[in-house]
Structure 1
Amino acid sequence: MSKEELPIWTKERVKASLPQRGDDSHKGTYGTGLLLAGTDDMPGAALLAGYGAMRSGIGKLVIGTPGSAVPLIVPVLPEATYWRDGLEKAARGEIEAHYRAIAIGPGLLPSQTTELAVQKVLKEKCPVVLDAGALSIRVYPDRQAATILTPHPGEFSRITGLSIQDVQKRRASLAKEWAEKLGATIVLKGNETVIAFPDGECWKNPTGNSSLAKGGTGDTLTGMLLGMLCCHENEKEAVLNAVHLHGACADRWIKTRSPHTLLAHELSHLLPEVWKEYEA
């Protein structure tokens, strides 16, 4: 197998690893997730990620977002609970609840507050998803739980110091190399997304298409990763299944509609029917 050839996380693998929802379960069975996302100017990122999480098996979702964003999001996502100005509170170390998983970054910009919040979040003993403004040059060797980075090629270029052209030429080998180097799982987004784990395991995702080349689809994926980490027992399977189903929703879209027309929130609306097709 050459450096750029990878095993594929197929529909059959997803079917075999999706969790069952027990008849005697309750919301606590599937955990509480924390999403730190959105700004005054980009409140929609918190909503898109929130939709993705709520559709992906989570028991309860807490969205930490600016107070100005809360009244905009609540009417369309009343199922979540809200932590006003959660990013600033997290940066001050005010994370008190126990979370099954945490995601931070959608809609955020790199800043001192964001970095402080990331450092506090990384001290928590649960899986952490870092996206968008939470991605920076760091290493993660001391965490016991999974750390998942979700860069597109430009963000991966910034993290590694490599050119985007180099990244695109050697996506698989570089994702695998840097996952081991950083001590983090890397979800390198793009055509045939590559998922590389720090232990050297690496997979190619077969789903997805050009309809995902639009703002907000990455926010939705971050939310789906958060939700899947809450309802899966196996962290690797959670990441792989989230990426696969995210792409499968996009594939469903283009069966009857142009890839030009997808809106990111429609991925979450398609997920219930797509997921059902994967259940045994």
Structure 2
Amino acid sequence: MKILDWTEKDVKDTLPKRDAASHKGTFGTALLLAGSDDMPGAALLAGLGAMRSGVGKLVIGTSAGVIPLIVPVLPEATYWRDGWEKAAAGQPEETYRAAAIGPGLPQTEEVQRAADHLLQGDCPVVLDAGAITKRSYPARKAPTILTPHPGEFSRMTGIPIKELQQHRAEYAAEWSKRLNVTIVLKGNETIIAFPDGECRRNTTGNGALAKGGTGDTLTGMILGMLCCHKEPKLAVLNAVRLHGACAELWTEEHSAHTLLAHELSELLPRVWKQYE
């Protein structure tokens, strides 16, 4: 199968400009359903990634006990108390430019109901972590984007991890078409497969990303970039490449062993500027 790299030039040609006359409404409101009492930090990591990635306004729907823990670090977001539990009971009332669900959430029926309600809307939806399971997806005009690591991909497809790792691009492309979703198969040289058959390989990143929380940050970055890019494909591809480039910048100055996930969002302003 044909797979092309998503290159530095591709990013430089497609990153959006932020016009001086723009306002927060220009870049829309994003909804992030993330963070539980046991994993509150996931909401913060994804939230930081989103706020650094071009969103106009971010609403974080998280467990009530999580909010006071993350507000001191991310006061720029607004919060929907017990948001993912409320989303499970009905579709969010507000209209969003893009939505994401899963970081720090358990793999329960309640989380799946919340995902179902998001998928009834007409905006791009990113599913990660606890929201990824074996299921079918409704036909939608807006894209559905899954961001599994190999273990989650195996869980949703039944393909053994060893077999998957030997044919990453082929399986990502096959299941992207089968489920009619975009698949971001994380790992060394992340594969991004689209349901129209296009398949891209990301060449940035390194072993510094092999640490808990980096995937939450990527989910947030994809969410934020969906709000400032007009073309969702480009948002996903650029988020993945810049996420990896942040890890590369880290290892220019520090050991790969020492990266913390929240530091990716701190590095992103420098990396983004290099691509403009």
Distance 2:212 2:235 in 1: 23
- Structure 2 counterparts to residues 53-72 of structure 1, below 5 A: 53-72=50-69
Structure 1 Cα separation of the partners of residues 36 and 25 of structure 2: 29
1:110 to 107, 111, 127: 107
| 1:53–1:223 contact (8 Å) kept in structure 2 | yes
Match of 1:206 among 196, 203, 206: 203
Superposed CA RMSD: 0.7
Cα deviation per residue 1:114-162 (whole Å; 9 max; x = unaligned)? Answer: 0110110100100000000000112225111000000000100111111
C-alpha distance in structure 2 between counterparts of 1:186 and 1:111, whole Å: 21
Which residue of 2 is the match for residue 129 of structure 1? 126
Q: Is the 8 A contact 1:49 1:223 kept in 2?
A: yes
Distance 1:181 1:6 in 2: 18
Structure 1 position 94, deviation (Å): 4.7
Aligned residue number for residue 161 of structure 1 = 158
Hey, what does 2:212 align to over in structure 1? 215
Give the stretch that moved more between structures: 37-46 or 134-143: 134-143
Pairing 1:34-73 to 2, within 5 Å after superposition: 34-73=31-70
Partner of 2:14: 17
Tell me the amino acid that sits aligned with residue 101 of structure 1: A
Give the drift of 1:13. Answer: 0.2
CA drift of 1:92 comes to: 0.8
Matches of 1:165 and 1:94, distance apart in 2: 38
Aligned equivalents of 1:88, 1:53: Cα separation in 2: 21
The answer on whether the counterparts of 2:91 and 2:118 sit within 8 Å (CA) in structure 1 is no
Matched, 1:231 2:213: no
Distance in structure 1 (CA, Å) of the matches to 2:126 and 2:175: 16
Query: Is contact 1:139–1:183 with CA below 8 Å preserved after alignment?
Result: no
Given residue 242 of structure 2, which amino acid in structure 1 is its aligned partner?
L
Asked if structure 2 preserves the Cα contact closer than 8 Å seen for 1:194 and 1:203, the reply is yes
1:155 maps to a residue whose letter is E
Q: Which 4+ runs in 1 deviate beyond 6 A? A: none
* 1:194 and 2:191 matched: yes
Code of the residue aligned with 2:70 in structure 1: it is I
Percent identity of paired positions between Structure 1 and Structure 2? 67
1:74 to 71, 78, 90: 71
1:260 aligns with 2:251: no
1:165-200 per-position Cα deviation (integer Å, ceiling 9, x unaligned):
010000001100000000000000000000000000
Name the CA distance, whole Å, in 1 between partners of 2:233 and 2:111: 26
| Partner SS state of residue 99, structure 2 | strand
1:224-258: CA deviation from partner (whole Å, max 9, x where unpaired): 00000011000000000000000000000000111
Report the AA paired with residue 224 of structure 1.
Answer: M
**Aligned partner of 2:175 among 175, 178, 183:** 178
Gapped regions of structure 2 (runs ≥ 5): none
Whole-angstrom distance in 1 between the partners of 2:9 and 2:236 = 16
Q: Which amino acid is 2:61 matched to? A: G
**What code does the residue aligned with 1:260 have?**
H
Q: Distance in 1 between matches of 2:136 and 2:172?
A: 14
For residue 139 of structure 1, what is the aligned residue in structure 2?
A: 136
For the residues of structure 2 that align with 1:149 and 1:138, how far apart are their CA atoms? 12
The answer to whether the Cα contact below 8 Å between 2:36 and 2:104 also exists between their aligned partners in 1 is: yes
For this pair of structures, how many residues does the alignment match? 276
Structure-2 separation of matches of 1:84 and 1:40: 13
What is the TM-score normalised by the length of structure 2? 0.99
